[in-house]
Structure 1
């Protein structure tokens, strides 16, 4: 698989696109003046405790209070304790929190809509090869590392951490890494944690204790180091930043290339905006002529697979199997590109053969292996549905790139012209309605009234005029002069 990171910058923002074999699978952007929030550590102030909801709201200095759920709580450290990491911990419970008290929290999900950031007291500090967990005595290894290499890495980390508290998770990128490099990064994370504790002892809540790396550094660490890939950018500063980062981790600086074209032409050359526009539509067409329809609701994301224009040649079962198998890769790509999370339900075309259903499920699991986000999928149900969950840590593409329609308020539906015409008729039939008046309404409503005048007994003194209105259902009535 060929992996490419495309980075472009302008005066307002940094944009990064991830391509796998030339296909856009991920897109993120970050304003130049505002770094991402996920991973940031705050000394917050508990603003409200809700025992009945097993949760609390915490002021971390953002526009809205963050949300801390009891299931996201780990040991509560006493940052004022100067004894190092061996501070005083308590078993986690929302009832232990007191309104107005300080608490160390980490952002795990960006604010979305009217919801504040999701918070956790299970602190983690990510590096390129390992993740440091200050409050857990545990050594874990990525599931993608197996055999003797898995045992080697686990033994090295266990030996290196014997003298310190806390745990480590060994990342996929650590495969084949020398012990000296692991030791260097582990010590760096320990030093970073010591600095965070020192800031926490001196700060008054709410305060930022640690900011996660910027978008470029995060994606190089999270994406590029998981697989062998290259960076292509049209910004000299971003190119130098990427080279320094890769060099510090023992990777060749030659992996970073400066785009030779004119500024702003990098995304245009790879048709990134064209792919983003397609990802904002509900319907996605497959090469065979079949299609996928993706619709997000408050509760879940529904994904429907349709045969569309594809009719097949052999049988209905073979046609359904062919479309479903083709749809799997595109569904996973769209999930990653759109940043969809939470509960997802995929409605595949019904298949009767057990072998086909098993092959489809195996293909879906294989495709999801390339996804960085954690997911869990259930077997195909008798109705041909696949239910899955996917961890949501950032705003999805639709929320980033679009806003709520002022006409339909996000419903995607408008009152029918006949309904607005009926409302006008009811208003004009009131006791205090003028006998002579001018009604201003949308062009669609006026056209409907003119074509159906025999259905409405409007007085002869009533005239209509079409105009641009805030909403298609909006109308005004003013006395005629």
Structure 2
């Protein structure tokens, strides 16, 4: 599989695209005025403890208090780790929040989820600092290997190397997926780097004031190299010379074997246009996703969950209905996995596949979905098809979706996705007129409304207007306003 990482840099915005076999798979956006906070470490102060929620709100200088649950608060283990689980942490019941924190207490926390919608950031005191191949767990003694490395022989080899290198340090480490196939020297370099970084962090913790950032994660281009650069990535193309120099220096320090794959793109044509990325971004903001067979998906993101509806559309098939449905669902499973990753959709996801009768077809569709999700960097969990033909799944959400990053609710419909009909607004205006004349004295009433609504009233509801004038004993005038939305109107007393 051919994979490339494209980095597009402008003064106020940086974008990273992951392209596999010529198709956009992932899109990351970072703006200078609105950088994400995930991974950052802050010194905060507890502003409110809520025993009923087993949680606390912590002020960390983000404008909105962040959320810290009792289960995310570090407690010293009562014994050494056993089989990778520390006694006294997740193995024991969580004490009441008011035994762990009190209002006004200073606490060092790390952001694990950005503020999303009306919710503040999610915090933890279990600090974790990533490097190229490892994640440092300074308050833990666990030495583990990422579950994404499935080969048992490789897991055992990496675990053995990690224990030999880090067992005496008294600090925990997790081997990342990128470490697969790496040497002991590579892990040793990361341990040395993380050790020095942790010493500097501890000094910062002592000096930093409440509400200030102690440690900030890397900027997007370097973060993309650290998290997305794998052996099967053929090229990293950067269209900014300054950013290219930074990525080269970073790669020389942490991934020297991959330096030659990073190149500067000097072309006049924008790099995203060259790969068709801009068009893909525009398509990713639409609800409908066409399938090659003629079917299509409808993706609807709401506050509670994301729903994916599968339709056969123009696909008629060649054999019978069951075969048509099966092929459409197989293609939909692949497309859905790509869209979730591309649009960065997280939380609860419900996929409404077309009803299938054959149990083997159901298993194959589910298997295709799971297989297509394997390359997703976010953690996903897929459940069996329900009796209603729905597939429930979850995808870990740490940042806003692509749509929420690039778009805002429509000011006309306020994000509802629909407008009141001109007929509905007409009858609202009639009711408002009746209400106004009962409260105030006036000889004439002037109604300001959108051109479409005024046209409907004068052309189709003229009889109703005459009857209303006779009923209230007043003259009613209508004035179209081009700047008014369809639902907007004013009744003025003259």
Shift of 1:417: 1.7
What is the distance in 2 between the residues matched to 1:208 and 1:232?
A: 31
Give yes or no for contact 2:149–2:155 (8 Å, CA) kept in 1. no
The aligned counterpart of 1:81 is none
Distance in 2 between residues matched to 1:253 and 1:199, nearest whole Å: 32
Range 19-28 or range 445-454, more displaced: 445-454
The CA deviation at 1:229 is 3.1
Contact (CA 8 Å) 1:406, 1:471: kept in 2 or not?
no
**Superposed CA RMSD:** 2.1
Rounded Cα–Cα distance in structure 2 between residues aligned with 1:186 and 1:64? 35
- Of 473, 476, 481, 1:462 maps to 476
- The offset of 1:76, in angstroms, is 6.8
In structure 1, distance between residues paired with 2:34 and 2:489: 42
1:376 partner SS: strand
Q: Is the 8 A contact 2:4 2:233 kept in 1?
A: no
Q: How many angstroms apart in 2 are the aligned matches of 1:357 and 1:189?
A: 46
SS in 2 for 1:379: strand
- Identify which of 250, 254, 257 aligns with 1:251: 257
Assess if the C-alpha contact under 8 Å between 1:435 and 1:459 holds in 2: no
Contact 1:75 1:122 in 2 (8 A): no
- Listed one character per residue, the Cα deviations across residues 31-77 of structure 1 (whole Å, up to 9, x for unaligned) are 23554311011111111111101111111111211111223223279
Question: Aligned equivalents of 1:280 and 1:426: distance in 2?
Answer: 39
Give the one of 121, 138, 144 matched to 1:140: 144
- Which whole-Å CA distance do the structure 1 matches of 2:379 and 2:265 have between them? 33
Instruction: Indicate yes or no: 2:450 matched with 1:446.
Output: no
The 8 Å contact of residues 12 and 31 in structure 1, kept in 2 or not, is answered as yes
What is the DSSP-based 3-state SS (H/G/I as helix, E as strand, rest coil) of the residue aligned with 1:318? helix
1:347 aligns with 2:360: no
Report the Cα distance in structure 2 between the residues aligned to 1:445 and 1:324, rounded to whole angstroms. 44
8 Å contact kept, 2:432–2:491: no
Q: Which is further off, 387-396 or 187-196?
A: 187-196
Equivalent of residue 152 in structure 1, options 147, 151, 157: 157
Once the 2 structures are TM-superposed, how far is the Cα of residue 149 of structure 1 from its aligned partner? Answer: 2.3
- Determine if contact 2:236/2:262 at 8 Å carries over to the other structure: yes
Distance in 2 between residues matched to 1:278 and 1:479, nearest whole Å: 48
- 1:408-430 deviation line (CA, Å, top 9, x unaligned): 11111222222221122123333
CA distance in 2, matches of 1:224, 1:433: 73
- In the alignment, the residues of structure 2 paired with residue 10 and residue 120 of structure 1 have an alpha-carbon distance, to the nearest angstrom, of 33
| SS of corresponding position for 1:394 | coil
In 1, Cα distance between the equivalents of 2:294 and 2:287?
Answer: 16
Once residues 93 and 171 of structure 1 are traced to their aligned partners in structure 2, the CA distance between those partners, rounded to angstroms, is 33
Report which stretch shifted further, 28-37 or 340-349: 28-37
CA 422–33 in structure 1, closer or farther in 2 if over 3 Å, else same: closer
* Aligned partner of residue 244 in structure 2, secondary structure: helix
Report the 3-state secondary structure (helix = DSSP H, G, I; strand = E; otherwise coil) of the residue aligned with 1:332: helix
Matches of 1:43 and 1:130, distance apart in 2:
24
Report what 2:5 is aligned to. Answer: 5
Question: Does 2:304 match 1:299?
Answer: yes
CA positional deviation for 1:310: 1.1
Contact 1:56 1:68 in 2 (8 A): yes
- The equivalences for 1:41-440 within 5 A come to 41-75=41-75, 93-95=96-98, 96-142=100-146, 143-225=148-230, 227-248=232-253, 249-262=255-268, 265-429=270-434, 430-431=437-438, 432=440, 434-440=442-448
1:250-269 C-alpha deviation (Å, 9 max, x unpaired)? 3232201222312x611122
| Secondary structure in 2 matching 1:267 | helix
